Each structure stands twice: as structure tokens, then as C-alpha cells.
Structure 1
Amino acid sequence: MSNKTVLVYGTGFAGKGHALAFRDAGAEVVGIVGRTDSVVKEVAAELNIPYSGTDWLTALQTCKPDIVSIATPGGAHVEAIKQAIEFGCNVFCDKPLTQSGETAEEIYQMSLKHKVKTAFASSFRYMPEIMHAKRLVAQGAIGMPTEVECISHFNLDRYIPFGWSHSAEAGGGRLNNNFTHLLSIVTSVIGEKIISINGEVRDDMGSAPVVDGVHNFMERRNFIPEDINDPTLEWKKSDVEWSYTVLAQLEAERETTQPVSVLFKHGGLTPRFHDDHIIFHGSEGSIYIKGHYGAGPLYLFSHGNKGAQWQEVTLPEDIASSLPNIADDTQRSWTHLAIQFVKDINGEQVEPYQTFEDGCRYQKIIDIIRSNDNWTDVSKL
């Protein structure tokens, strides 16, 4: 069976990561497309990718890829995905799927019509300790799941230069780029069916300085102006949330008497005091995982034990060995999903993975949360 060919859209942190992921999955990366000619040529040379360009449609026509990998900010996804689907390409797309539920539904339906395979890379569900928690819950280690708590505070610098992360139209906001991962993590452990959602958001950024030269999202802190009070600095207004509080109810895969309650609390600009964490509570015990995306270690609390204490549980070797041998959490997660996707396209049996159906549902949920219209006025009671 010949190697599947891949065309990557995006030359930043995610674009490079997707290219490496598909190579590790046994596919051939034949081209890469970006906005800036000099940058895309540099990245193509760095990664030894034969084709580079700035026109997506021309690249599709020239490279004729089996798979396209969408690694740009969410606001640039829609047209690129539409064109790729029309070419009959299978599509691997990073989160968020698009910038709105309406456009997400459009490309999801288009993928069904054209019968192409899709993957939605909200991929931190493949963190080793998250997979460990999934196994423990399935084995009954905490009894019937009752509630989940996801707490994180990132303390991002308020003066990071204005970019796509500040703009709803560009696919920015903490819901698109943090909540998507957490929702994926919780559903992977508890169950994929989301019953109900409620939430509120807050933009405590206000505005950000405009600085030229930022290309790689991961390097944006390096461009923070030395003098933020410089009167010549240009500022742009943020129009997305930097903090959110979301309540959800999930249907558990294990039998329960009522829905599982989930709290997602994230402060993008607020400092942490205690560790970020994810906790899964149940009728007979609890699982605590340190880290905002569950990096670990993992601890188990069993209610039935006299004088119970939190006990650290070692990651099973078979879980560690089932994942690519890559130290970086983001890269390892992308690679694991890319491997499943390529195998599925080749007709091999694989574990279930998230598709545009999930990405579309997530985008509609984000729209609901952002509407902020679930408040009840009690000021006159």
C-alpha cells in the first residue's frame, strides 16, 4: 500500500507539528502553504518539504494530496476546508473547527456529502494520565461517576501583542483554544454524550499592543513592547473571552442514577496559587490529576478504606507504550491522532477518534456559552 500524501496549511507551531506528526504516521508530506512567501519557504526548507506556496487552491491542484492538515488559526479554516473537501481530500483539522457553530455545521455536512474522512484534533484526550483515568473509571475504581472539576489559571501576560487569539473572527478566545481540549478530556473519560451546558465568559484583557513580526504563536511573549506606556504604540481591542466558567451535565458510560456534573473554571490572565488540576469524583472514590491538561501525576482516593488517603498510582506500562515515544505532550498527542487517522484511511482497524461531528458540536456549545444569556436577575427579590 502506497504512502498517503499530506498537504499542510499553516507554517507556525501547529503547522510544523502536524507535518512531523504525519511523517511519524508513515505519510509523505508533499507540500506546505502559508501566508508569507519568505516564511513558508524557510519552513519548507527546514522540514525538507518539496512544495511550498502561499495559494491554497494552487497547492491542492499541484500536490493532489490524499490528506490535508489544517493548522492555521480557526478563522482561516472554513474556505480552505471547503476547497479541500471538493478535491476529495480527507481532512485533519486542529481546534477550533471554525469560528462559529454555523460555519462548523456547514463544513461538517459538506464532509458527509463528499464522504471524506475527518479528524478533529482536540487531542489532549491522549495524555497518558487521562487515558489512565479513563481505564480506572471504566474498571469501577471510583464507582459511579458523580462530578468532575477542571481548574486552571494561566497568568498570561496582558501585554502579549494583538493577534488571532484576541479576535473572535480569527478563531481566538479561551473557549476555542482551551475549553475544547478540556471538554474532549472529560468526555473521553466519562462519556461522549453532553446533555446540557451553561456558562459565562469575561474579557478582562481589554486591548493589546500592535507589534509587527509575530509569526509563531509560541514566541509571542518575545515581542511584548519594552515600554507599554510608549505614546506611539498602537492598541487594538480584544473581543473574546479570557476567562470562563462553564457547567455541564454528561451521560456516563458507566451506569449512573443521574447525570455527571462538570465544572470548567479557567482564568487566562489570573495567577494560580495551588496547582491546576482535573478531578473525577465518584460514589466510591476520586481521581486527581495534576496539571491543566492532566500531565500528572495521578492520585486515587478510595472512600471504602479506613483512614483513606490520596495515593499516587503509577502509569501502567502498556498505556505508555501505546503512545508515540515523544516527550512533548502536544506533539505526542498530534502524532497519536495522525497515526489513527492514516490507519483508518488505509482501511485498518483503529480506536474511535474525534471527527468534524465532534468539532461542530463543540463550536455550537461555545456559541451558547458566549451568548451569556442564562442569568436570572435576582436584584429585586
Structure 2
Amino acid sequence: MLLLYYIFVYKLITSKPMISYELCARVSIAICTGILMPALMVTLIILYLRSRNAEAKENRKKIKKFLEDCESLNPTRYSVVDVQKMTNEFKKKLGQGGYGRVFKGELENGMPVAVKVLDNSRGNGEDFTNEVSTIGRIYHLNVVRLFGYCADGSNRALVYEFMPNKSLDKFIFPVNSNRPKLSWGKLQHIAIGVAKGIEYLHQGCDPRILHFDIKPQNILLDIDFNTKISYFGLAKLFPKKESDVSITAVRGTMGYIAPEVYFSGNIGNWVYNRLADGEDLGIKEEKDGDADIAKKLSVVAIWCVQWDPTNRPSISTVIQMLEGRTGSFPLPLDPFASLGSKESDMNVP
């Protein structure tokens, strides 16, 4: 291409006098620009791809080192072929999200499992390594069990115990009206299970495990509606001796993170005003005691969303409150007062 360019310029210079040197210079600049710009673009693309490849190579090294360190942990490491076999070539899909897809599978001993195939591992694989390094080392009734994982080339998958009732959000935010409603007694049972799972993560593990994304979508339910905390992609490990943990960036899902970070409390304000005025919550009792359970869950929830973290009860105290009698603890300060005017006459179905 350069050879053709020089030939063309030579012909312009040595041609008839009617073609000026100024015109030749302009043509030369135009042709140089036409040649150099694509070359520059190609060079930049090559440098970018090399940078990406170097970053990917470094991440692979980190994950390889991490997997070597995890050999002493309980989860089994599976190959891609193992995962394909246990899911029957990914035949039955259970769900899909931003993390990837979940398939039903079966281990060689016949135990049903849920296999999460990660399509877009966040943070250069951080969510994958978080899952393996946290729940891969622990076992508790109220934390989902990780049986194994797959790290075969660029393929990533996590193998969990199978939860036939899926996640809590399917019941409290039902898309299908035919799905049975949870009784107040069962809701209390689920709340206690979540609290006990968090207590174990915070106080029973060393280092402590902070989940950072407790929400209905991450609370799984087994056949008997026992609670299983799941998804540890945002979890962090902290030394047990550290009583205060400072976080430099917001972690979690809006609406479920600490109230001093983000909170919207329209319905909470209505509930607080009813409780403060000694009015019932308009609960339709299907069983005796439903109104008392609803009141207890509401009061505990209000304690847990106090704006000042020092006013919130510890997770051990929360368990005692959930398992105790309704009248054994007072109504806390109104955490919704600073949100604006009261909405006590708000219509709530």
C-alpha cells in the first residue's frame, strides 16, 4: 500500500506543470491520513485485546491459586462432563437471572441438586470465589449446602442441594395466584430460620461471614419450608475479633440494604402508626393467634430498621424476640418520622 502511495505522489510531481506542488501536498496529507488512521485504529485494538488477555490470564491465575487453596474444603470439584451428566445435558431449567441459569440435576447417589451455571461472573469471578470460599467451608441447617463446583477452563458452575419450594419471593410476591399463601405461623418459622442462619454466619463462623444481600429472592425453602440462606456472591469475610465493620461502597439490593443507606417506608409508617395507636393491623385470622404473630413480626421488623444502628437489636436478641411472647418487648422509636408527613390514613388493602 505504501509503495502505491509513493508511486502516485511521484506521478503527481513529475506530471504537467498545471498540477501545483500545493495540490500535491494536500493529496499527500489526505492519503497519509487515510493510511495512518486505520493503522492507528488497528494498533489500538491490538493493544486493548492484549490488555484484556493479560487481565484474563491474571484472573485465571488467581482462580487457579484459589482452587488449589480450596482443596482442603468439603465441596467436590466437578468437570464440565460431570455437570453435563448430572443435569442430563441441561435438560430441566429451574430458573434464570443475571448470574446465569439454574438446572435440576442428580448426583450419582441419586440425590437431587440444583446446578447454577454462571454466564456472567461478576467482578472477574469474585462472586464464584465468594460462594466457594464461604458456604464451601460451613454447614448449618439454615444455610444452603454447596456440594461442589465446576471450574473447567472458562466454565463455572455451582452445585447446591435442591430446594423444591424454590425461593421465598415466589410466595410473598406471587405471579401465579394459584400458589398457596403462607400462614402467619409459617412466616414466623421462616423469619426465625433466617435469623438463626444470620446468627451462625456472624457469630458461629471464624472468620465471620457478612452476606450483604439478604432478600426474599435469596431465601430458599425446602420441602418443609425450612429456611436456607443462599447466594453469597457479595459476601465478605471479616475477623471475628472486629466488632465494627466499615464498608467503603454500598453492597446489596436497594430496598434491602441498611436503612441509613436507603429506605422507603410508606407501608412501614402506616404499620407503626397503627401499632402506636393501639389499633389492630386488619389481619384476617385463619387461625387463633394470627393477629398476635403479625403484630410481633411487625414490631421486630420496626426494631430492625431503626435509623441509628446502635438502636437495633443484635441478631441473637432478634431470635429471642421472634420466639418470645408478643408483649415482652416495647414498641421502639418511630424510624419513619424523618421520611415526611405521617400517612396514617393511607389506604392499604
> TM-score category by the smaller chain?
under 0.3
The structure richer in helix per residue is: 2
TM-score, with length taken from structure 2: 0.26
Which one scores higher on RCO, CA 8 angstroms, separation ≥ 6? 1
The structure richer in strand per residue is: 1
TM-score, with length taken from structure 1: 0.24
